[in-house]
Each structure stands twice: as C-alpha cells, then as structure tokens.
C-alpha cells in the first residue's frame, strides 16, 4: 500500500498529513488503511476505528486491533463512515460541501485470507480480485495507465512495489495536490507481520533513481518506436 | 492535433462523432478545431463558426474561412460559445446540466504565426507557449504524464506525433468514454497546407504496432529498474 501526504484546501493552503494507518499485532494481524477525500472526515473515521466504538454490525466494542476478520473490518469501517455521515452529512450539505471520504483497507487477520478492500463514502465496499488486482482512491487517473498495462495478480511483490512507485510518481509530477513524502507498506501473505514500512522523502536515494530511470526509459521508449509513413 | 470520436450519454448510450473540424485554403490558411464537453453544445458552436455569423467582436460576418488572424479566430469562437450560452445556458441550469464545452484551435492564417489556443466555456482562452507546448481538453489526466515528461517545444514533429498517439492510447485503455477511431491532423509551420489528415481505426497497422511496442517497452522499463534494498 502506498499513500501520499499532501492535503490541500486550495493551492494556497497546503499541509502534510499522513494518510496511512497501520495496526500490527505480530503473528496475529496486520491491518493497514489509507484514506482520501475531506481531511476532517477521514481524521474522524480513522480516530473512530483506532479508538473503537460499540459496533451495531459486529455486536460489541471493537477497534482495528480486535475486529475478527478482514471482512468484518471492512464492515466496521463502513459503519464508522455512516456514523460520520449521520453526524456531519446534513451540516455539510447545507453548506454545499460534498461528503467525500474513501478508505483502502488491506491486510490479514488470524487464519483468514489476505484481502484488499475499497470502502466508499456510503460505507459500502468492494474487494480486489485476480482480474482487478489493485485499487486506487483519491487522484487516481494519472497513475492508472501503467497499472492497467502491467499490474497483474501474479506480478512479483518487488515488481509491484516498483509499479506502485512509478504510478505515484506520474501523479506527483502532474498534480500539485499530491505531494511527497509518500508512505509505503509492504506485507507478505501469511506472515502477519509488516515486511517494509517506509516514509519516502524527496532525497530518498532509491526513489530518485527510480524516477530518473523511469523518465529516461519512457523517453527512450517513444523515440524507439518507428515513425509513421503516413502522408497526405 | 488529435481527437477521439466517442460520445457517451451514459455507458449504455455510446455513439461515434468526429470532433475535429478542418478548414484548409492552401497557401492562405489551415484552421483546425477539436471540441470536448456536451455534444449538443459543441455541435452548435461548430455549426456557428462553419456557417458564420455577424460577429460583434470582429465587426461583420465571418466564418472559419474568413477570420483575419488566429487570435481573431479564437475571439470569434469565444463569441460563438457565449452566444450559445445565451441561448441554452439558462434552460440547462434549470435542469442542473452544466454548461460544458471547450475547444482547441490550432493553425496559421496568412503571414501570421502558427498558434494553438484552448477556448473555455466562458469564451475566454489561453495560448500554448514554449514552456507549456501542448494543450488538452476533455478526459486529459490519463494521457498527461507522458506529455509532462517528454513533450517539449523543440520535440521533432514526428516524435510529437508518436507522443500524441501514445498519450491517447493511455486514455483509450483506461477510460471507456474515449474510443477509436481517432482523428489526426499534422500541420507544418509556414506551409499553410495540411501535411497529414488521417482517421485511425482499430485495424490501423501502424497504430497497432505503436500500442504493442509501447506496452512492451513500459513493461520492460519497470522490470529493468533495480529492486529496492529496503527492509523493515
């Protein structure tokens, strides 16, 4: 999972906020969320699921450390979003502010499957599948073409890390509302512990090298394509 | 200039309409427009500038074949858009339909400079410059990263054709609302005649080869980047 840290309320009001939240109970669970949308909403949702609440859906008090399965965790986050809508939705509507919040949830709990979910502003959610092995929230368009071309469910893990970084780099270059540093979490199936957690800053040696190699490879690639022999 | 031909009113209502309009008076002018946004609006605007109207801005009856300069042509199209807004804007507002139309205008007239303009829904416009040598309208995000990385004002013409096709290909792959065939116009500065005008279909041999080479080059490029040596 990969997220940026840029929050903006207009181009003249830019701040840095982490959007990744990780719960690790080694051997038992790794649960990672990233959020997009309105910062006030996503902070409320993240606080609710970190601190916990008495869940109607799950029946009893839960936090991201106690939910019994990944599916239940997606339901739990969906309920937190619906409760946030109940508290803030009407006042925002009166001021013509859209209720814009979404969450990616990835990880593995106990003996369950490793799963990846995208949870919408209505609290409903979808799961990634073999056919569509990646999910994006927030400003997704600039980074999507390379994923559509190259990301498959059997892409090796370290190739997938490179793809995610290349995808994020395209977005960083083309949209001011997405900015460094970026947060990376890598989890290996059935380990129930974090493999890599890293905040990548502007001066990160590897990321700089990846950006330069990628730009240079793209320029070489289009130049290597033969010219069309079309004439009028 | 490059445009697709897909028009959609929902994913279950897709049609093919050319969005490129070319006026060529060899030796005197080549004027090319492409449009994006609401089809009903862009058809009205294109009809107005093709058939002509008595322009307040230019003082007298004009068509795309008679406007005196490229700048005057941009003003003329802006006026056509404002007149369309005057006729349709209020009724659309009452039905909560946005007034969404934009135009790219490129070409050269008489002894004037070759110029490229983007005209907004309010009829105002900007011109491409050396620092920002390309303009996009409509669904622009998927295709922007490669242009941001590689398109420069001194990019050779045939390299620019390849870049435009690669950029459009990214959009074709990631967004159903953009579809083949695509229309290409190539104009060489100071010739005042069309160099290439071509409708590119699914079975176009060159375009197929370009798409395959590009996809293959991207996959090779990300695989060639070394893996990170990060650990926890």
Nearest residue in A to B165, CA atom? A222
pLDDT score for B20 = 97
Q: Please list the residues that pair with B73 across neighbouring strands.
A: none
Chain A nearest-CA residue for B168: A145
Residue linked to tokens 């060159």: B206
Tokens of B232: 């926890």
What is the distance between the alpha carbons of residues B139 and B205, in angstroms, rounded to a whole number?
Answer: 25
Distances B77 to A75, B6, B58, B71 between C-alpha atoms, Å: 52, 23, 11, 10
Tokens of A119: 């949870």
- CA distances for B72 relative to A136, B26, B28, angstroms: 44, 19, 15
CA distance A1 to chain B (A): 15
Contacts of A43 (CB under 8 A, 6+ apart): none
Judged by average pLDDT, the poorest of A66-75, A80-89, A217-226, B74-83 is A217-226
What the block records as the tokens of A8 is 């903006």
pLDDT value of position A32: 98
CATH numbers and ranges of domains, chain B: 2-221 (3.60.20.10)
User: Residue B20 corresponds to which tokens in the numbers above?
Assistant: 């490129």
Q: Flag whether pLDDT at B99 surpasses 80.
A: yes
B154 in reach of chain A (CB within 8 A): no
Does residue B161 belong to the interface with chain A, where contact is any CB pair within 8 Å?
A: yes
pLDDT at B13: 83
Buried b vs exposed e over A101-115: b needs ≥16 C-beta within 10 Å?
A: bbbbbbbbbeeeebb
Instruction: State how far residue A146 is from chain B, nearest Cα, in angstroms.
Output: 8
Q: Is 60 exceeded by the pLDDT of residue B232? A: no
More confidently predicted of A93 and B230:
A93
pLDDT bucket at A8, cuts 50 / 70 / 90: confident
CA atoms A136, B134, B184, B166: torsion sign: negative
| pTM attached to this predicted model | 0.89
Q: Is residue A174's pLDDT more than 90?
A: no
CB within 8 Å: A230 and B196? yes
CB B27 within 8 A of CB B60: no
Report ipTM (2 d.p.): 0.82
Instruction: Pick A214's closest partner by Cβ from B141, B219, B225.
Output: B225
Among A214, A226, A232, select the one facing B221 at the smallest CB separation. Answer: A214
Across the range B221-229, mean pLDDT stands at 91
Interface mutation target, options A2, A141, A143, chain B, most CBs of B under 10 Å: A141
What is the pLDDT at residue B11? 76
Q: What is the pLDDT of residue A230?
A: 84
> What's the pLDDT score for residue A21?
97
pLDDT one-digit tens code per residue, A37-82: 999 999 999 999 999 999 999 999 999 999 999 999 999 999 999 9
What does the pLDDT average to over B147-165? 94
Three-class DSSP category at B148: helix
pLDDT of residue B231: 64
Determine the Cα–Cα distance for residues A46 and A17; give it in Å rounded to an integer: 13
Beta bridge partners of A29: A25, A109
**Interchain proximity A148–B173, CB inside 8 Å:** yes
Residue of B nearest to A170 (CA): B145
Handedness of CA A72, A30, A18, A163 (dihedral sign): negative
**In the prediction, which pLDDT does A9 show?**
78
In chain B, what residues touch A163 (CB-CB under 8 Å)?
222
Residues A152-169 pLDDT 10s: 999 999 999 999 999 999
- Say yes or no to pLDDT of A232 above 70: no
**Cβ atoms of residues A80 and A51 within 8 Å:** no
């Amino acid at each position: 999972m990969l997220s940026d840290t840029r929050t903006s309320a207009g181009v003249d009001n830019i701040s840095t906020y982490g959007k990744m939240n990780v719960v690790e109970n080694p051997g038992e669970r790794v649960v990672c969320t990233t959020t997009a949308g309105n910062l006030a909403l996503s902070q409320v949702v993240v606080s609710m699921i970190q601190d916990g609440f008495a869940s109607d859906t799950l029946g009893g008090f839960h936090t991201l450390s106690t939910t019994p399965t990944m599916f239940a965790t997606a339901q739990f986050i969906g309920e937190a979003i619906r409760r946030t809508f109940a508290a803030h939705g009407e006042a925002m509507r009166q001021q013509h502010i859209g209720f814009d919040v979404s969450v990616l949830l990835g990880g593995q709990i106990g003996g369950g499957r490793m799963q990846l979910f995208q949870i919408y502003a209505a609290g409903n959610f979808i799961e990634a599948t073999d056919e569509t092995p990646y999910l994006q929230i927030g400003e997704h368009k600039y980074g999507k073409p390379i994923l559509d071309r190259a990301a498959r469910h059997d892409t090796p893990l370290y190739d997938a890390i490179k793809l995610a970084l290349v995808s994020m780099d395209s977005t960083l270059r083309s949209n001011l509302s997405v900015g460094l540093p970026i947060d990376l979490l890598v989890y290996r199936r059935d380990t129930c512990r974090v493999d890599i957690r890293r905040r990548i800053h502007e001066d990160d040696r590897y990321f700089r090298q990846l950006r330069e190699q990628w730009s240079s490879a793209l320029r070489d690639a289009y130049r290597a394509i033969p010219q069309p022999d079309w004439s009028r």
